[in-house]
Chain A
Amino acid sequence: MAIFYILLFFMVIAAIIAVETKDLLGSVICVGAIGFGGSLMFLLLYAPDIAITQIVVEVLGLIILIRATISRDHTFITGEREFFGMVVSVAILLVIFLAGIKVFESLPPFGTPIFAKAPEAPSQTYIEKGLADTGAANVVAGVILDYRGYDTLGETTVLFTSILGATVILRTRSRKRLEEPDT
């Protein structure tokens, strides 16, 4: 259990550095640290599928983020922030946080998942019948591609949409006159 606390503290500290440092490149690297801490945590939480996906997605995500920050100049943030606005928003967020902490007491304690107690939870069926129903030894693969395959269709579409959107946003000419042919 202690390892989870250590990793989460590490992630929180990395997050604070990422938020507060003035060097954009350093802040991106801290995001990488959070991501790798997260993927280690997934591994220890018995989610190897997610750990693999997280780590490779993290690598590509970092490349994308670094791509945005390396522009030869302007990697340092300068300038004053409005003090008053910051205090107000920090106060609001603190209130939400304190309200939120109590909420987690209503959940079942860490390490005893809800599906073991709820008789109608789908997860128990996935574990017991997953191999027989779908033929996949990896129950997670069975869930994402068979039981909840429709979700995965949506997920593929989200990726398709955002990449199409990115190429649309990055196209060089956007408007033309009506008579002009397409370029």
Chain B
Amino acid sequence: MKGMTIIVKTICGWVKVLIFLFGINIILFGHLTPGGGFAGGVILASSYVLMMLAFGREFVEKNLPIPLASRLDCFGAFLFAAVAILGLVFGGTFFVNFLYQKYLPGHALHLVSAGTIPLSNIAIGLKVGASLFLAIFALSAFRKDFQRPDAGGDNKRPVAGQE
């Protein structure tokens, strides 16, 4: 897979940035407007998937941070659990919205409001973006072996992004 033509590659290079920014926007304003961590995270992942489709797998393997994505996957999930546990530490109960109720009420309908909800959105966005990117990468990285179905199971190149 060498990727597509130079026109597609150039346009994707620009569009990727726009999609990425849109994803961040969706995540940050998730508590005020439709959207949120999941939708935004999937959009973040799709900006990288676009790169993968346009430039081919080798480019992605070389230039994009695959091990970082698998770390981010774990880190995002951990961050969300940590927000919940912080509720236990500061608010006395698991999952309490301690920021909103005690420390930082913010103003309704402003970006800084709703306490831990934007934080959770960011954590979920990170986690979803990283993990879906990883999933699609793993699925397409398997492609080489996919073309010769009867090959044995032992002489294959390892899938990147794993240990």
Q: Which residues of A contact B (CB under 8 A)?
A: 48-49, 51-53, 56-57, 59-60, 63-64, 67, 71-72, 131, 134-138, 140-142, 144-146, 149-150, 152-153, 156-157, 159-160, 163, 166-167, 170-174, 182-183
In contact, B95 and A150 (Cβ under 8 angstroms): yes
The 27 sampled A-B contact pairs (Cβ below 8 Å) are A49-B36, A53-B36, A53-B38, A53-B39, A60-B45, A64-B135, A134-B114, A134-B115, A135-B100, A135-B105, A137-B31, A138-B31, A142-B31, A144-B36, A145-B31, A145-B116, A145-B121, A149-B95, A152-B80, A156-B77, A163-B131, A167-B135, A171-B162, A172-B156, A172-B157, A173-B153, A174-B153
Q: A152 touches which one: B124, B141, B156 (CB < 8 A)?
A: B124
B12 at the interface (CB under 8 A from A): no
Give every chain A residue within 8 A of B103 (Cβ-Cβ).
none
Main SS of chain A's interface residues? helix
Contact A141 B136 (CB under 8 A): no
* Cross-chain contact A135 with B106 (CB below 8 angstroms): yes
A60-B42, A146-B117, A150-B95 in contact; A137/B80 too (CB < 8 A)?
no
Please give, as numbers and ranges, the residues of chain A lying within 8 Å of B113 by CB-CB distance. Answer: 135-137
The contact of B159 among A51, A59, A167, by CB within 8 Å, is: A167
Give complex CA distance A59, B44 in Å.
Answer: 13
Does B60 count as interface, using CB distance less than 8 angstroms? Answer: no
Q: At the interface, yes or no: B56 with Cβ under 8 Å from chain A?
A: no
Task: Give Cα A110 to B37, complex, Å.
Answer: 30
A-B pairs with lowest CB-CB distance, top 4? A135-B114, A48-B34, A136-B114, A136-B31
Using known A-B contacts A56-B46, A172-B158, determine if residue A49 contacts B35 with beta carbons closer than 8 Å.
yes
Work out how many contacts link A and B, with CB atoms closer than 8 A: 160
Measured between beta carbons, the chain B residues less than 8 angstroms from A136 are: 31-32, 113-114, 117
Whole-angstrom distance between the alpha carbons of A81 and B2 in the complex?
40
B34 in contact with A172 (CB, 8 Å):
no
Distance in angstroms between the alpha carbons of A174 and B30 in the assembled complex: 41
**Besides the known contacts A137-B109, A167-B161, 18 further A-B residue pairs in the complex with CB atoms under 8 A apart:** A53-B38, A56-B46, A63-B136, A72-B147, A135-B100, A137-B31, A144-B36, A152-B120, A152-B124, A153-B81, A153-B95, A156-B76, A156-B77, A156-B128, A159-B128, A171-B162, A172-B159, A173-B158
